[in-house]
Amino acid sequence: MRLGESIRARRDASGLSLRDLAGILGATPSYLSLLESGKRQPGLAFIPVVASFLGISAEDLLKKIAAEKVEDQASRIEGVVPLLSPERIESIAIADRDSFLAKRGRDSLIFPADRDKIPQILCGLNVIYDDELYREGRSGVGEQFIFAGLFPERQRYRGMSNVIVVARRSVSHFGDSRVSEPTLTFQVLHELGHFRLHWKTQAPGTVPAIPDKPVFCSSGERSSLEYQANAYASSFLMPENELRNMMHGNTLLDERRLCNHFFVEPHTLRFRLKRLGIKAAV
């Protein structure tokens, strides 16, 4: 529930009118109305007042406001970034892969050694690992955490720009856990996909940005842009021709062999096979 909706729901549950609550909180009815409609966010001086009314800490309220700004940014980006065809995404990913391999003077990727080098060599993006990234994401039961984020020019993460930030730890139903090396690799390439497909191709200023927040982030969100970044990473890691050649038309999937060869998790392999229309039984 968004902040404005939370305020309205709490007011309704208390049986207070807009004017009555405004008087209690020391605000004008018009200002409170703007908060409830989501057209305004409370200023710093009013944060403790709203937090007390909602029964949460001022710190949690600030995190909620920051998360909503990221949500709003994502919605605006969806409206200004054109969606690319699967074929176009595939061609960009394969061209990037070929370019990287040509610059390294070989014909195959080496993971995890190549993971941090790919964004740096292709786009000048450095990769850093910081578990605080996901702790700064949305917290609470059923909420989302940020596992990886893109901070291009004009965006900063702890004073650094042009970086992909990835958390080595994550959360699941079983609690805090260490992220596997293949998953870290996929997250790095996912953010590189955002850079190549959604950031670099846009005119300066087209994609809205919030200072000190990732322009794009991996948080388990299901959106068209996230699917495109996943498609880029999958295509980069598992070129169609190589994947089909390894399967040799077999309908029985040797999942472990393929996952080890392409350095991916089983669910990533299945995602790729589904997108390519390859049906195989495990």
Strand partners, 21: none
* Domain locations in the chain as residue ranges: 3-56, 83-237, 238-282
CATH superfamily, region 3-56: lambda repressor-like DNA-binding domains (1.10.260.40)
> Which residues, 6 or more positions from 6, have their beta carbon under 8 angstroms from its beta carbon?
54
What gap in Å lies between CA 41 and CA 45, rounded to an integer?
A: 11
What gap in Å lies between CA 108 and CA 190, rounded to an integer?
A: 19
Q: Tell me the pLDDT tens digit for each residue of 113-164.
A: 999 999 999 999 999 999 887 766 544 334 456 789 899 887 888 889 999 9
What gap in Å lies between CA 264 and CA 277, rounded to an integer?
A: 19
pLDDT above 50 for 173? no
Q: Tell me the pLDDT tens digit for each residue of 26-62.
A: 989 998 998 988 888 888 788 889 999 999 988 888 8
Stretch (H or E) spanning 178: strand 175-178
